[in-house]
Amino acid sequence: MLGRVNHIAIAVPDLTSAAAAYRDTLGAAVSQPQALPEHGVTVVFVELPNTKVELLEPLGEASPIAAFLDKNPSGGMHHICYEVDDIVGARDRLIEAGARVLGGGQPKTGAHGKPVLFLHPKDFFGTLIELEQA
């Protein structure tokens, strides 16, 4: 079911300084910030040869990463995103297996314009999983 790692996400308290650290200190190519109100985050992508790192800053009052940053004020690894060929088929199989698919199970359009879903971290060894339609 799982395909490539699409991205690894890091929640950060200050996107400008995090993007600068990846660009200027670590020497990576970073995208312009993209505000995604439907997801409650602003995102910058760090382009790497084999995958991407997604830097996330809270956006709005009800950001899903706000509580995470309260617990990890200097930031931390937030989720890993795997590609799947058939996101609805994957969702149905996961629900059948007893996994909690977040947000009512309806895919949203993610940062790459493709459908995404999230799986509860307590069902996967303390790691929040995002699935993205390949």
Ligand X SMILES: CC[C@@H](C(=O)O)C(=O)SCCNC(=O)CCNC(=O)[C@H](O)C(C)(C)COP(=O)(O)OP(=O)(O)OC[C@H]1O[C@@H](n2cnc3c(N)ncnc32)[C@H](O)[C@@H]1OP(=O)(O)O
Active site residues: 130
Which one of ligand X, Co ion, none interacts with residue 35, CB within 5 to 8 A by kind? none
Query: Minimum distance from CB of 99 to ligand X (Å)?
Result: 13
Query: Minimum distance from CB of 92 to Co ion (Å)?
Result: 22
The answer to whether residue 60 forms part of the interface with ligand X (CB under 6 A) is no
Backbone angles phi, psi at 86, to 5 degrees: -135, 95
Interior/surface letters 46-76, b for 16+ CB within 10 angstroms, e for the rest: beeeeebbbbbbbbeeebbbeebbeeeeebe
Q: Report which of 62, 78, 82 is spatially closest to residue 11, judged by C-alpha positions.
A: 78
Residues at the site binding ligand X, with contacts judged by CB under 6 A: 9, 36, 39, 41, 43, 54, 56, 64-65, 67-68, 78-79, 81, 102, 110-111, 116, 118, 120-122, 126-128, 130
